[in-house]
């Protein structure tokens, strides 16, 4: 029995999932789950990278204590964030969180040096203020000692792999998100690095998903009392792993990886880099099996999560099922927001920002928790329709429905409203998409599956898929027209 381990790190929690192939089906078991809490230190927001490393070791220990002989392991996480390793091989500083405010104004300052059209033509990546290129540029503007002491640039999974194996590599799917990788030339963009005065020596070899990236080093094995096992570089951007797990039956499909962020798009054989893609701020991120993910970031359930945190701070504690039930009982389409408005990006008092947005757009603002949640979920579903139609336009494809994967599919109201909004079926599942994609890429590398399409077939046979058929078409079409007017979205 092939037993492998996937560490899937999200923006708020992480998990270690054990994967087994039993009678031609995938079985998964959660061995370890842990919180991933950012750390505010002074005016800066950091990731607790050493805590994440500790939790990975705890996952390995739990496998040992359960008597499980592992064949391999791999890690996936969010994109864009990174750390530096110094000349002595040690970590230089704690990685910044992408929501830290040190990047404010950096994107605009960089555009004064390099026009956006040049950056997009060379990278095909959408413009987001927290992209790696702007984080690095912000450090440069601040004359940060990180850039003086740093010898090698490693993204979050790269760092954790280095701690485990002692080997430094960059992985393809995450490298493409930096806006410093040239997908046409299939390498770091040396012209951009030269213009930005970032040393080429920071950036190492780029491993494709499925590459063997090293073995657990002796110090780790001795500490944990375990044998060494291979560590693979899978699609280490968690969205890349989630898309690998989409149980599609057709090569032309649309997906929505739904969680703290919502990422919607399709799989393409080569990047779609043109003026319209740039205008619509779509992105081309690396995927599995030589593919790219033509997609757009949507703010996602972050807005709801922050509302819930704010209500908890005020002494009102609601479970997510309670919030969904209250939303179902609230008046439909009473207020709508653009989830991607910049005011919703930073952490903080999200209900007040929603109220301000509604007042600025001439709407009656929500008052009760149920009204806030309904506003958020309806607005997300309507934004999904907007991006779904743009994805069809850019890719030249027509999709029969939408595959939703990730933890957000546990919100059945959002799944149903997404089907209502796009007017086509939603196929929801699996929930642990990123971890399952992580697992199947390991198995492909080990010869257990011939390719990603065989793996997707096994995923379909192994996990339940819930189908949501569209309802209330006239009401949702009317709401979409109003949504486009309120948000100013005309494309």
Task: Give the C-alpha separation, 416 to 384, whole Å.
Answer: 12
In the numeric block, which tokens belong to residue 222? 């001795």
For the record, the structure tokens of 227 come out as 């044998």
C-alpha 420/C-alpha 261 separation (Å) is: 21
Q: Is the peptide bond before 461 cis (omega within 30 degrees of 0)?
A: no
- The DSSP bridge pattern shows strands 402-405 and 254-258 to be parallel
* Catalytic residue (choose from 8, 238, 338, 341): 238
Closest to 442 (Cα-Cα) out of 51, 70, 48: 70
Is 238 a known active-site residue? yes
Return the structure tokens found at 43: 């005016």
CA distance 152 to 12: 27
Tell whether the torsion through CA atoms of 246, 248, 251 and 255 is positive or negative: negative
Instruction: Please state, in angstroms and rounded to a whole number, the distance separating the CA atoms of residues 334 and 310.
Output: 22
Report how far residue 169's alpha carbon sits from residue 161's, in angstroms, rounded to the nearest whole number: 8
- Tell whether the torsion through CA atoms of 94, 95, 96 and 97 is positive or negative: negative
Residue carrying the six token digits 């709401």: 479
DSSP string of 395-446, one letter each residue: HT---SSEEEESGGGG-HHHHHHHHHHHTS-EEE--TTHHHHHHHHHHHHHT
Q: Residue 472 forms beta bridges with which residues?
A: none
- Alpha carbon 257 to its chain centroid, in Å, reads 8
Q: Which residues are catalytic?
A: 238
């Amino acid at each position: 029995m092939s037993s492998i381990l996937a560490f899937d790190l999200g923006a708020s929690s992480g998990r270690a999932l054990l994967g087994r192939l039993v009678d031609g089906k995938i079985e998964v078991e959660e061995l370890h789950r842990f919180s991933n809490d950012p750390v505010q230190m002074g005016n800066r927001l950091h990731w607790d990278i050493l805590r994440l490393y500790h939790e990975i070791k705890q996952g390995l220990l739990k496998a040992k204590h359960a008597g499980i002989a592992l064949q391999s392991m791999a890690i996936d996480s969010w994109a864009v964030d990174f750390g530096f390793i110094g000349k002595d091989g040690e970590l230089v500083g704690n990685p910044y969180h992408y929501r830290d405010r040190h990047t404010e104004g950096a994107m605009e300052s960089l555009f004064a040096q390099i026009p956006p059209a040049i950056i997009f033509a060379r990278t095909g990546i959408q413009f987001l203020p927290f992209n790696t290129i702007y984080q690095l540029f912000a450090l440069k503007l601040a004359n940060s000692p990180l850039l003086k002491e740093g010898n090698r640039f490693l993204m979050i999974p790269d760092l954790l792999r280095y701690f485990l194996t002692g080997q430094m590599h960059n992985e393809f799917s995450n490298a493409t998100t930096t806006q410093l990788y040239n997908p046409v030339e299939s390498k770091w963009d040396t012209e951009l690095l030269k213009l930005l005065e970032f040393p080429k020596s920071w950036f190492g070899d780029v491993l494709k998903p499925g590459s063997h990236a090293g073995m657990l080093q002796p110090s780790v094995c001795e500490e944990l009392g375990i044998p060494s096992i291979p560590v693979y570089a899978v699609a280490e951007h968690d969205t890349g792993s989630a898309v690998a797990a989409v149980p599609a039956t057709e090569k032309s499909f649309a997906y929505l990886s739904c969680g703290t962020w919502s990422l919607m798009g399709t799989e393409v054989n080569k990047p779609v880099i043109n003026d319209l893609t740039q205008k619509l701020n779509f992105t081309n991120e690396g995927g599995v099996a030589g593919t790219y993910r033509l997609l757009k970031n949507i703010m996602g359930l972050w807005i709801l999560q922050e509302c819930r945190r704010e209500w908890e701070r005020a002494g009102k504690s609601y479970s997510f099922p309670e919030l969904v039930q209250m939303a179902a009982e609230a008046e439909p389409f009473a207020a709508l927001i653009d989830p991607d408005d910049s005011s919703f990006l930073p952490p903080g008092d999200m209900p007040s920002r929603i109220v301000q947005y509604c007042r600025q757009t001439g709407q009656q603002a929500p008052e009760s928790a149920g009204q806030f949640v309904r506003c958020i979920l309806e607005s997300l579903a309507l934004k999904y329709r907007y991006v779904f139609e743009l994805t069809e336009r850019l890719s030249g494809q027509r999709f029969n429905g939408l595959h939703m994967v990730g933890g957000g599919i546990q919100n059945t109201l959002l799944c149903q409203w997404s089907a209502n909004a796009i007017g086509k079926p939603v196929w929801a599942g699996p929930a642990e998409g990123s971890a399952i994609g992580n697992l199947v890429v390991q198995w492909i590398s080990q010869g257990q599956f011939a390719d990603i399409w065989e793996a997707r077939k096994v995923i379909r046979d192994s996990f339940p898929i819930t189908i949501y058929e569209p309802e209330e078409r006239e009401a949702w079409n009317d709401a979409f027209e109003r949504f486009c007017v309120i948000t100013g979205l005309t494309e």
